[in-house]
Structure 1
Amino acid sequence: MTSATATLRRFNRSYTQRIGALDESFLGLDLPLGTARVLFEVGDGAGVQELRARLGLDSGYLSRVLRRLEERGLVEVAPDPDDRRRRTVTPTAAGRRTRRTLDERSEALAARLLAPLSDRQRDRLTEALATADLLVRAATVSLGTVDPASATARAATAQYFAELDRRFPGGFDPGDTDDVSSMAAPAGAFVVAVSDGAPVACGGVQPIGEGVGEVKRMWVDDAWRGAGLGSRLLRRLEDEALRRGYGVVRLDTHRTLTEALAMYARAGYVEIDRYNDNPYAQAFFEKRLTAPAPAGPSR
């Protein structure tokens, strides 16, 4: 056991005990924590698939939890009127009252935990917990290749385009973005990072020459800056390029994206002359990729 894992395990034991996660009736609601959390996430209504993705729950377990909530008269589960293959969950009046009570008691518990601390200690705890939350989510985010024309990919790239429009001095016009075939398998790849069922980062690889690939549409949600997700995504895209036989990878960017410029420099990219006619690009980079060395014989 390393000191890092020991610290994390100790925190998990301490925190779950102090917030009542071990109680059979969480916050006196006559519901275990897992069931109460599902009711909280239902909110004003949610799809069953959305709940599964957001909470990372097994379909069988979620079905049992929803059945218990139905039996208690707290939710109603019914086919989605827009797609009968899907199911939606809606809180009843009793469910909404229970959720309000859950909110109130959770807030009161948090206040009691903070009450003995000084203002300085509260500030330290708030900062530490915010950092811990970000890094734990970063450690558990999933990166996967998807069809660049899929709904998930389009949702991520829409946020990417929106960020460019906010940050570029003259705005950004994505133009015709329907043709994404160059980033489709087998010659290309599109990677999306998902956390709590929502895309938080994306990027693609496409061929632009013999043995040369290009990184495109690389985006990381503002809330995830500082968690190392951008560097992790870039390494994944480089791996995807190598798997497709690209020994060189190129990319372009705008000089207002200072975080991206710094990340590319740290990752070993060197600035080169313009290689395309992208009107928004001001800086152009290239990196020669090398396959990871094979593992040596075990000793």
Structure 2
Amino acid sequence: MVELIATSVDDPVARSLLTDYFRTRADTFPGNTYTTVFPASEVFEPPRGVFVIVTDDAGTAVGCGGVRAIDPGPLGPRFEVKHLYLAPATRGRGWGRMLLADLEHRAAAFGAAEVVLDTHHTLRPAARLYAAAGYAPIEAYNDNPNATVWLGKPLA
């Protein structure tokens, strides 16, 4: 059974998944200019946020993601989806959609009126996931050098 488990980003399993995520992004980023920034643990501690790992049927950690509070937006309290990652061998099973839905649910429980995220236009499978989940283009809300696309979704 696939499980979604809240943990600290400083947990060794979470840190290993984030390392894989950042390595994958750096290896495939156009121009090899990806900027890696490991998140501070306090931004993913309830009620400011949460970090989740995905374990597969064998209990192996295969993915991660988090939500964190950011400055309010036009709809009110806003949380940002960060570091959504699944190991390549696990993709196409619907686990990314399950993880994203779980993060949205957790953000709503913390009082978010909206979830937002930034991504890069070259991440086409991610773009399909976000579009299918109801995300739409919004104005840039940060200056992330790795991002070319900003998306949002109301939770109300």
Tell whether the structures are fold-level matches, with TM greater than 0.5. yes
Corresponding residue to 2:18 among 130, 139, 157: 157
Percent of residue pairs identical: 37
Residue from 198, 203, 217 that aligns with 2:83: 217
Q: Deviations over 1:125-177 (max 9, x none)?
A: xxxxxxxxxxxxxxx111111112111211111111011012111232314x2
Q: Does 2:42 correspond to 1:181?
A: yes
Which residue of 2 is the match for residue 270 of structure 1?
Answer: 136
> Counterparts of 2:61 and 2:30 in 1: how far apart (Å)?
26
The equivalent residue for 1:7 is: none
Checking the alignment, whether the CA contact within 8 Å between 2:35 and 2:145 is kept in structure 1 is no
Higher helix share: 1
Which of residues 142, 145, 149 in structure 1 aligns to 2:3? Answer: 142
Show CA shifts across 1:215-247 (max 9, x none). Answer: 001111111111001000000000110110001
Q: How does 1:273-288 map to 2 (within 5 A)?
A: 273-288=139-154
Where does structure 1 lack aligned partners over 5 or more consecutive residues? Answer: 1-139, 291-299
| Count of aligned residue pairs for this structure pair | 150
Distance 2:132 2:18 in 1: 24
Corresponding residue of 2:66: 204
2:107 corresponds to which of 241, 244, 269: 241
What are the equivalent positions in structure 2 for 1:1-299 lying under 5 Å apart?
140-171=1-32, 172-175=34-37, 177=38, 179-195=40-56, 196-210=58-72, 211-290=77-156
CA distance in structure 1 between the aligned counterparts of 2:87 and 2:96, rounded to whole angstroms: 9
TM-score calculated relative to the size of structure 2: 0.91
Instruction: Give the SS at the match of 1:170.
Output: helix
Partners in 2 of 1:243 and 1:155 — Cα distance?
27
Query: Aligned-pair distance for 1:180?
Result: 2.8
Equivalent position amino acid for 1:149 in 2: D
In 1, Cα distance between equivalents of 2:48 and 2:139:
25
Higher strand share: 2
What is the identity, as a one-letter code, of the residue corresponding to 2:102?
R
Separation (CA, whole Å) in 2 of partners of 1:166 and 1:228: 24
Unaligned runs of 5+ in 2: none
CA RMSD of superposed structures (Å): 1.3
